[in-house]
Amino acid sequence: MVAAPSRAETGSGVQTYGNYIAGEWRPAATGETLENRSPSNRNDLVGLFAASDADDIRAAVDAAAKAYETWGKGSPIVRANILHKAANILEGRIAEVGRELAREEGKTLKEGIGETTRAVQILRYYAGEAQQPTGEHYPSINPLTLLYTVREPLGVCAVITPWNFPIAIPAWKIAPALAFGNTVVFKPASETPLCAVRLVEALAEAGLPAGVLSLVSGRAAAVGDPLVQDERVVAISFTGSNEVGASLRKQAAERGAKIQLELGGKNPAIVLADADMDHALMHVVNGAMMSTGQKCTATSRAIVDRRVAGEFTEMLAKKITSLRVGDPLDPETQIGPLIDETAAERVAGEVRQAKEQGVSLVAGGERLRDGGRENGSFVAPALFADVDP
């Protein structure tokens, strides 16, 4: 069970959330916190979260290194049972956590519930994988020789995750690491720490031993480097920007640590003249607009056969202008806000720049500041045509 509550209430009723280190929830070593506000309404204070530094990272790695001595040698059945129990705990909270995800990140309520459901499925899947045989046998030209591999845990792993899938991506990094006997120090995105807390709560309540999983929140500049530079961290799994990924790759290479990077992407859709236009429209719109387009797999451009380009452009413009942009907690909303005001202003600036360069703006692209969207990071979905590839 969790040694202490993950949160405390301030005098104003705002919840304060600590780090999870060595089996207990505790404030940052500095005693400082960071505000986390909803992107749909900047007046909505989601909570206060630990503003950690190198001391917190050191404590988390200390705990992880100590826990690995027994966790890595323990029974796979025990690890599987904990993951399965955590899946059950989180499953019982899907509606609540999905709603918190929508509030904190800005995904629509439907997407928030869907992502939380996905996290449950990931935990359950790796509970099963933990019990599968590891290693393989290979044929040998010598009948007296047996060739085989044995897979062993690595040790202390760092998991650094982004804000655009704040519970699913942590689950699919943390669950396999734990399933096969590693310990984890988890640094979530500072924009979405509440979702991270909810995942760790489920694992802690499921009986995860102290130190096996630590959660350290805070700004990347304060905790990222101390985490990846600690010699006891033998593997790093990161999802995020190309720039940060390049820096982490260099740091890992300098000391021989294993590293796994999932970075940005550019994803076109190709629409041919003989395509089913309605079917193509559905996939292009869903690929481009789900999660407000804030994912590395988003469809950012469509390459359309010129014979149907006019027709398809008209269909796209009509569809995206009909999409309902607004409060992600409203079940009728189809597109929520961008992650923060900086992102909204950057997108609006890119739209202005494209227009100045002579690109044809067919629809959208403007800031939305009415109808309950006055304090949020809302931008109308934009469609450009005749873009130079």
- Whether 74 shows a pLDDT value over 60: the answer reads yes
Q: Phi/psi zone of residue 75: left (φ > 0), alpha (ψ -120 to 50 degrees), beta? A: beta
pLDDT tens by residue, 100-157: 999 999 999 999 999 999 999 999 999 999 988 678 889 999 989 999 998 899 999 9
- pTM of the full structure: 0.93
Longest dimension (CA), the chain: 78
- pLDDT for the residue numbered 151: 86
- Whether 11 shows a pLDDT value over 70: the answer reads no
SS3 133: coil
DSSP line for 301-350: EEEE-HHHHHHHHHHHHHHHHHS-BS-TTSTT-SB---SSHHHHHHHHHH
CB 195 within 8 A of CB 100: yes
Residue-range domains of the chain with CATH: 7-134+152-262 (3.40.605.10), 267-385 (3.40.309.10)
Distances (CA, A) of 134 to 90, 131, 152, 227, 235: 28, 9, 8, 29, 19
pLDDT tens by residue, 160-183: 999 999 999 999 999 999 999 999
Residue 262 appears among annotated catalytic residues: yes
* Catalytic entry in 129, 262, 341, 345: 262
Residue 191 appears among annotated catalytic residues: no
Which amino acid belongs to residue 145? T
* Catalytic entry in 91, 129, 296, 341: 296
- Whether 269 shows a pLDDT value over 90: the answer reads yes
Place of tokens 């949020």: 376
Closest to 173 measured CA to CA, from 164, 185, 163: 185
pLDDT tens by residue, 205-246: 999 999 999 999 999 989 999 999 999 999 999 999 999 999
**What is the C-alpha to C-alpha distance for residues 389 and 386, in angstroms, rounded to an integer?**
9
Closest to 325 measured CA to CA, from 334, 317, 316: 334
- pLDDT for the residue numbered 137: 87
Distances (CA, A) of 19 to 34, 224, 296: 12, 15, 29
CB 36 within 8 A of CB 18: no
Which amino acid belongs to residue 239? T
CB 208 within 8 A of CB 82: yes
